[in-house]
Amino acid sequence: MKLLPMTQDIYPIYLKQAIKDFAEDKVQAKTWNKEEALALSKASFRSLLPEGLATKGHYLLTIALADQAIGYTWIYFESENTEEAFVYDFLLVEDYRGKGYGQEAMQAIKVFCSQLGATKLSLHVFGHNQRALHVYEKVGFQITDYSLSVDLV
């Protein structure tokens, strides 16, 4: 398992999928309505990655297994001197899910961040994504807080 810098030709492919996935997650979480979700997702990505792959503090990586891209991750360091990194995105290609590759990739991400000086790695997972939560807990992540909602209509 290797983490490789995302290339300029892969970036638009990743971005299209990531924007779509984020919009769908926000709709499923009932944070955004379906009609506005894609536009809001695009705006979020434009805001967070104004320089694309060259955006300072952001590491967009391809997760590779035997030189085959099996996923992507986006890691953020707030400043060069920070000891905390944040995983903005973690995506495995569908064919590689549920086979242990997610855990292996998360271990590689932990090593990558540690080598860059991080002593803490955080991430967010949507409540409806129990599969991802299971992977994160298996590699040592602990829940730090809960955010709960209830529909009243």
Tens digits of residue pLDDT in 48-100: 999 999 999 999 999 999 989 999 999 999 866 678 999 999 999 999 998 99
Alpha carbon distance 17, 142 (integer Å)? 27
Cβ-contact 93, 13 below 8 angstroms: no
List the domains of the chain with CATH numbers: 2-138 (3.40.630.30)
pTM for this entry = 0.89
- DSSP per-residue codes, 3-42: EEEPPTTTHHHHHHHHHHHHHHHHHHTTSS-HHHHHHHHH
Residue the block writes with tokens 């973690």: 90
> Considering Cα of 130, then 36, then 93, then 107, what sign does the dihedral take?
negative
User: What is the C-alpha separation between 151 and 129, in angstroms, rounded?
Assistant: 19
Helix, coil or strand: residue 117: coil
Q: Where are the alpha helices (DSSP H) in 55-115?
A: 101-115
Tens-place pLDDT, residues 13-37: 999 999 999 999 999 999 999 999 9
